[in-house]
Amino acid sequence: MIGDFYALCERAQSIEDVAKALFETAHRTGFPHASYLCGGSPANPDAGLLLTNYPSEWRQRYLQQRYHRIDPIISRAQRTIDPFMWSDPLVRAAMTPKQLRMMEEAKTFRVGHGYAVPLHSSMQVGAACFFASEHNDIPPVSCKTMQRVSVIAHEHVCRMARLSKGRGETPQLSARERACLSLHAQGLGDAEIGRTLRLRLATVRRHLDQARLRLGVATRQEALVLALVSRQLDHRPPFAVFPIGNISC
């Protein structure tokens, strides 16, 4: 599924094409509704970019009640790099009574449960993807799939919308950085990469960190996808083995 989504994004001629692919993939994965927010806010999308297929009734209610001022999901996505379930006890514990009431009201519009994927980097406008459902029994595999899909969608949208802050072409990785990242894509741990390339563990970690910093992204996962999208890897490893890290689902 992720490979199909990547292919759709590569063929996309507009941001609308990417949005359509994102919404369709999210629906097939178990999320009937999705939003992509890059800069700005739901109340002021002109300051950035908002792509959404949320129910029009909820969007109208959201604006009327000025929920953008208290939205706990967007607020958390702006403060963390880790994806999260909206129903996570730690997430809900941080909500105010007003925020909890907003989330309860969202359930009546079938968007009260979901998964958020923050997308931050030092060289791109901050963004996030939000995937909503009326059910809370969301399979972990669906969350992992949509995290990868989110990163791919963000890179293609930024490329098309030219939202990069003077970024121009994607910075080129060194040969060692590409080699380490390529093996990382195949699911090898840092120690295994070191044995394969005959490098010390500290050297492997340094190359992976340098690759991440050079590409201006927050995580190895984002570096991996950006290197793939910019065609800096010698091959295209199966997305199914992309390392994801710890995800609370």
Whole-structure pTM value: 0.68
**Angstrom distance (rounded) from CA 86 to CA 103:** 9
Q: Which fold has domain 2-161?
A: Beta-Lactamase (3.30.450)
Domain ranges of the chain: 2-161, 175-241
Sheet containing strand 84-85, edge to edge, reads 44-52, 33-41, 127-133, 113-119, 84-85
**Domain 175-241 = CATH 1.10.357.10:** no
Cβ atoms 160, 17 nearer than 8 A: no
Q: What is the pLDDT along the chain (249 residues), one digit of tens a residue?
A: 888 999 999 999 888 899 999 999 999 999 999 999 876 556 554 445 788 999 999 999 998 999 988 999 999 998 888 999 999 999 999 999 999 999 999 999 999 999 999 987 544 557 899 999 999 989 999 999 999 999 999 888 877 755 444 455 778 999 999 999 888 877 788 999 999 999 999 999 999 999 989 988 777 777 776 777 677 875 443 332 233 222 222
Torsion angle, alpha carbons of 28, 30, 33, 37, to 10: -90
